[in-house]
Chains A and B, each alone.
Chain A
Amino acid sequence: MTGYIARRLLLLVPVLFGVTLVVFGVMSLVPGDPALAILGPYATPERLADLRLALGLDRPWPARYLLWLGNLAHGDLGRSVSLEQPVLDAVLGRLGPTLLLAGSALLLGTLLGLAAGLLAALRHNRITDRLVTLAVLIGISLPSFWLGLLLILLFAVWLGWLPASGMSRVWLAGTSLADLLRHLLLPTLSLALVAAGVIGRIARAAAIDVLAADPIRLCRARGIAEPRILLVHGLKAVLARTMPVIGLQAGFLIGGAVYIETIFQWPGLGRMLVDAIAARDLLLVQGGVLLLATAYVLVNLAADLLQHGLDRRTRAA
């Protein structure tokens, strides 16, 4: 186990290094003068000259990258033009709500997906299986931003049961847990149903395999009770097989959070990114993307470790 963790952590280094390289490289796609793009057309010549020096624009790109990486190591991601505060402070302040949203959606999506997959496999080729397959197809084809609007229309506008916005206030004021959950429910549902579709599809295929395989047959031959066979042996095997997809799904959820945060006025990184892109605040975009990508890499690491915990036969690639 420790050997596996060590190998897996070692693999993290080149990936994170590559992530910084890509983030840096994408920003060099900006047409024209980066300093002008960052500061906007109304910047004074002095400020432009300062920023060009700070970004090392007079030097070749490897030197520029090393300079940027050095600043990054010191926690210096530059200053956001639109928010007028250091990028690091801005993105860290927005990380919590995004992790809350994506995390609860991942949890709910996994639970729903696994339950649907197991149920469909148990009733393989019967009507329940058909219905689950149809629901899964709709789930993976559903635009989450549209689903979010429909949920708002139904639960916030027509029924008036749940709020469609206002998380910023709740997050800052730290009101009751019940209030937090009320605000969390609709955004989580909008994100989770799509994830449940993808996870449900994989879980169904895995469960059909697992339930027909020898270990389950030997469990039955030993006279172990059927609920225990399914919930202990079946579920663990299905979970071990589905875990890589659950890890990947975290990436789709972080992306999907951009839509959902925009729709529900969520005070997270996703909405900040959209605002920053509209305001051409490139350093803020860079910082936000870097942070979210790092979070995703770590989530995938966690998924790999969990999978190894479930099934010790897996090896680090």
Chain B
Amino acid sequence: MSDSSDKPERSLVQRLFAHSGALAGCVLLALVLLPALAAPLLPLADPALTDPAQRMLPPFSRGLWSSHLANHPLGTDHLGRDLLSRLVWGAGSSIAVGALATLLAALVGSVIGIAAGWSGRLGDALLMRGIDVLMAFPYLLLALAIVAALGPGLTNAMIAIALANLPFFARAVRGAVLDIRHQDYIAAARLAGHRGPRIVLGEVLPNLAPTVLVLMTTTLGWMVLETAGLSFLGLGAQPPQADLGSMLGEGREFLTTYPLQAVLPGLLILILVIGINLLGDALRDLLDPRMIGLEPSSRAMRMTSTEPHRQQENATPRADADERSALLSVRGLAVKVPSMANISSDPADAVHGLDFDIAPGERVGLVGESGSGKTLTALALLRLLPPPAQLRGSIRFDGTELLSLGNSALRSLRGRRIAYVPQEPLTALDPLFRVGRQLDETLQAHTEASARDRNAGIDALIAKVGLRRVPGLRGRLPHELSGGQRQRVAIAMALAHGPDLLIADEATTALDVTVQQEIIDLLLSVCIQDARTLLFVSHDLALVARLCQRVLVMYAGRLVEDAPIDRLLAAPAHPYTAALLACSPELGRPNKPLAAIPGQAPMPGQAGRGCPFAPRCPRAQAACDHAEPVLAALDQAHRVRCLFPLGARL
């Protein structure tokens, strides 16, 4: 095994040794492989030497009558042969046959795969249909049929197992070849005048190596198992030849009187195959780019959300005054999310000390670029972020602290008093359940209503979101609806229990412009009719302007401005808000050219000491780099986090 992992660059070997699974695999494999390789050098008894006088001796027994006083550390088998010696030699031939079968399958399978991938459509279709037919056979059955035709024997068993595994290689290699064919460097090689065979040898083969190598290690385990199985059935190794499978088969005859002879070879096969599989998994983790990052380390995942505590650092007088009358009151909310890419380092806050209140019946927009933390904030309010995310601060909803709320109390709030409209209903509605069923279950979640009442409830909801005229709506699956219809269904779900607070997370982003307007109108009407409170998360200031009375602007996880919509549009105080306005074709000054904000927002943890917008800010001064400004009240209704706000006398 160490041979195959030596081929790629050194770093792979080093990474393999850092991988705990790979290390365990190597140890298990070495346990079986090293003695088997060293068998001729070890002071072992002759594995084929029979001695009927010493049959089935228990472990650690010495030869009784034999003159050479042979040691039998593991005892002897039914013919008086030394069990340890037979195990060591048998393991050797099992590994050898499995490895040869793997090599054969890889070789022939790759040739077929390359031929299919490189030839035209007809050749590809013919070869792959043939492979499909081979795959239509139960795995072992094809091998059995081949052994039946060729006759029993270890070589024939190896050929049979290799043939049965060939389709896996042919398929994977063909896929990889098709991928590679469409890469730029192949086109470059063609342009340089190289011919097909030369391209295959020079460019394609080296790029196939990882695919084939991973498949070899993942199939080697099966092949060892199946060759042992054929030998177990008496179709593989024939006496006096022996591998672990045939030893197990022989031992089976004496299972009741002398179990050791069957138990030990099987145990050895198990250890061997576990070792191979561990190593194969590790190699796949390291070589298959699709697998990277899918198995985050345990360290980061074990973190749970911490106890809420109030963080007052940024609280302003205005916020405290409103706290009692507010429906939602957020203080010092911070969200920490360990990123997959950088899991080992201490995660930085993606949302920093948010403070804001929302009054009953108010419609508030939460605006920012992607990555500003607005969606994280929306999900944090419902505590919908998965466990590795940590929340600090305080979220009070109608006097109840949400961050310390138990699971069942939280569940009874969600959907009933606080409802959520998702970003992309195509993925958020369960694709496997019909619309009617999902609406019904939403109603069932918080009421004991009878099926008849729920039925009427669903009708009312469908009418409310303007879907009454869609024929057979309830029987449809989400993918059978248009984007706008799906969003209306999601809004109907959110309205099911007449919630006090509606949180809409980029609810119009996935829709085209005319449908966007319709959804905005719908949200506006359901909020105004029932005096519902709305938090509307969006990157589009123009939509927010149509829907909301007040706007919260976020930048780099911080609240940078909080103002009534008219004030914000007419006289933004934060340079970032002003820049956002200038970027909006609907809201920007018609005579000025559209602006783009130069530079990029900092990633969590990358912002310096000063104002995170300073590097991109046209008004930045030396003071901006030294300390981060606080969210300060300009007047009763307007707060801004800037040392030099627009419109202020400097």
Contacts and interface: CB of A to CB of B under 8 A. Distances in A.
B149 A29 contact: yes
B347 to A, nearest CB: 16
A21 B152 CA distance: 23
Interface of B: 129-130, 132-134, 136-142, 144-152, 221, 225, 228-229, 232-235, 248, 252, 255-256, 259, 262-263, 265-267, 269-270, 273-274, 276-278, 296, 298, 301-302, 379, 382, 384, 386, 407, 411-416, 419-420, 422, 424, 427-433, 441-442, 445-446, 477, 479, 490, 493, 496
Given A138-B274, A212-B386, A310 B432 contact: yes
A176 interface: no
A143 B144 contact: no
Contacts of B256: 157
Contacts of B277: 137, 140-141
Given A22-B133, A141-B270, A143-B270, A223 B415 contact: yes
Nearest to A281: B148
Q: Which of B141, B259, B412 has the most C-beta atoms of chain A within 10 angstroms of its own C-beta?
A: B141
A223 B149 contact: no
A149 B252 contact: yes
30 contacts: A18-B132, A18-B136, A27-B145, A125-B298, A126-B302, A143-B229, A143-B248, A145-B232, A146-B269, A149-B266, A214-B422, A215-B427, A215-B430, A217-B384, A217-B422, A218-B430, A221-B419, A221-B420, A221-B422, A222-B445, A223-B416, A223-B445, A225-B445, A226-B411, A255-B138, A258-B233, A282-B148, A285-B145, A289-B144, A313-B431
A223 B477 contact: no
Contacts of B490: 218
B148 A285 contact: yes
A177 interface: no
A97 interface: no
A258 B252 contact: no
A313 to B, nearest CB: 6
Contact of B427 (A22, A213, A276): A213
A215 B428 contact: yes
A224 B445 contact: yes
Given A274-B233, A312-B477, A226 B428 contact: no
B436 to A, nearest CB: 15
Contacts of A212: 386
A149 B149 CA distance: 29
Interface of A: 14-15, 18-19, 21-23, 26-31, 124-126, 137-138, 140-143, 145-146, 149-150, 152-153, 157, 212-215, 217-226, 228, 232-233, 236-237, 240, 250-252, 254-256, 258-259, 262-263, 273-274, 276-278, 282, 285-286, 289, 292-293, 296-297, 300, 310-313
Nearest to B412: A223
Contacts of A311: 431-432
Given A19-B136, A223-B445, 11 more contacts: A21-B133, A137-B278, A141-B276, A142-B270, A145-B266, A218-B430, A222-B414, A226-B407, A237-B430, A277-B152, A277-B235
Nearest to B281: A137
A218 B445 contact: no
Contacts of B267: 146
Contacts of A21: 133
B141 A152 contact: no
Contact of A29 (B150, B233, B442): B150
Contacts of B416: 223
Contact of A313 (B229, B301, B429, B479): B479
Contact of A224 (B139, B420, B442): B442
A122 B256 CA distance: 42
Chain A interface mostly: helix
B407 A14 contact: no
Nearest to B437: A232
A23 B259 CA distance: 39
B432 A236 contact: yes
Contacts of B263: 146, 149-150, 153
Contacts of B266: 143, 145-146, 149-150
Contact of A145 (B132, B229, B274, B422): B229
A252 B270 CA distance: 18
A18 B248 contact: no
A18 B129 contact: yes
B233 A233 contact: no
A125 B301 contact: yes
Nearest to B234: A278
A197 B152 CA distance: 30
> What 7 pairs between A and B have smallest CB-CB spacing?
A255-B140, A146-B266, A18-B133, A223-B415, A221-B420, A251-B138, A223-B414
A222 B477 contact: no
Q: Which of A145, A221, A232, A262 has the most C-beta atoms of chain B within 10 angstroms of its own C-beta?
A: A221
A179 to B, nearest CB: 22
A259 B252 contact: no
B298 A218 contact: no
A33 B333 CA distance: 84
A278 B230 CA distance: 12
Contact of A282 (B149, B252, B265, B445): B149
